Structure 1
Amino acid sequence: MDEMTTSRDGTRLAYDVIGQGPMVILVSGALSTGGTMMPLATRLSDRCTAVVYDRRGRGESGDTRPYAVAREVEDLAALVDAVGGEAALFGVSSGGALVLEAAASGVPVRQAAVYEVPFADFLEGGAEREARYKEQLGQALAEGRPGEAVELFLRLTGLGEEVIRGARQSPMWAGLEAVAPSLAHDDAVMGDGLLPRERVAAISVPVLSVAGGASPGFMREASRAIAEAVPLGTHRVLEGQTHMVEPEVLGPVLTDFFTG
């Protein structure tokens, strides 16, 4: 990351800027850093100025404790200020939940877009599953077992045991363990795992909620529910896409939304 700014509590935040046009800050999901968002930023850069950053506790950014979701909202406010005082926001997965909270909290954003925030309202036993994950994750991290924390998250996303065992043997595993403590941040951002309808109803800017047509049904239903819960919501489904959406498919949809 080439740029640095400081959040309200003194946490240093690393970020990069690419492109030209309306300013858009991209917010990553769990187990990812700003670099994860760079392929999408590149797709936006012809018509937008895209900002990618390492959320606190990841990559080159700091991690002042104790953690609170409000601190991550302040991080976004600091980034908006650093890049000119106004921006649009885009968040993927749990990063989308953070975007919605920032917009509801009054961070000066022009628009907000999210991709498949995994609210579990439409998943049978979803609330119980989220509560169980929260308890197990907290225990694994408290006892210094980052690998187990990563495994818990991967199971939550639906990966099978054979795939997880393969991931453990891959070169990327050390990097996943390094950011494992930030899983607690994403867990906090997701709250009880259910869509906070009253909270998002306070968002006054246009919101685009996008899902993949090949994603699980509860993801698509949650995406539609977000668009229906905000006053100025729009819903899109990208046929053939999954939770690992392709930047070349998502990019043009976001660009059209952010450029009006």
Structure 2
Amino acid sequence: MILGLLGLSLVLVLAFIAWFLLKYGHRYIGTENRHKFFAEYFKDFPIFHNAKTGFYKKELFKPLHEMESSFPELRKEKGIRILEIGAGPGANMEFYPKNTKLLVADPNPFFKEQLESVFKKFPEAELERYVVAGAEDMKEIPSQSVDAVVSTLVLCSADGLQKIYKEIQRVLVPGGKFFFMEHVIDTSLSATKIAQIIFGSLGIAQFLFDGCRPDKDIKKELEIGGFASVDARRFRLDLKEGVPLAYSGVYLIQPHIYGTATTFKS
């Protein structure tokens, strides 16, 4: 059974790689070109992903709608300030409160235009600042300046998770929360896990998906990340209905975690 699933997964992923290289390989050389292509390729993926994860995202982000800002001027407006790491094309905007003030730290500058266009659908929200930077070094974001930090499908492509967690704790107000939904390495010895290790270890996934590693144990890193508490739950993407060829790589990222990590109050 496992060998059969592994074979199917590998065939699908290899078919995607062949399609990808034939169609886009000549455009995918150099960091800037990689960023540019990934922004183009990824812009419609959130529609597919949100269809699979919308239930979990609504549950995850519900506390944001009940949160009272730590900043007096925002409390008067019944708004909150969120920093989203790697906001991409704005996949989470539909789940945020109306009066959200959003700061973004994203190493890919080509997502900015897509994100700005999404804001037109949410006129009560505001993009306060867009910083082209990785989450490992967000020095342009002041300490204790945001009520919440969000990341979805981001930490897989980031280097130095412990540096990122320290930065998240720095920019959050005391007692602030980090909301996350990330794909992770499978916990059992399955076809998925074997494929994750192969494609992660050989660098294939990183090349195709702008640095993404499907074999990271993000949950374990969170638990030793210095937060006061971590609440992480697991689920798997339901792919029984099939996946478009362009998104065949999603078979590598079926296992997900979602939840919150809370900083110390003082």
* TM-score band w.r.t. shorter chain: 0.3 to 0.5
Alignment TM-score, normalising by the size of structure 2: 0.40
| TM-score, normalised relative to structure 1 | 0.40
Which one has the largest radius of gyration?
Answer: 2
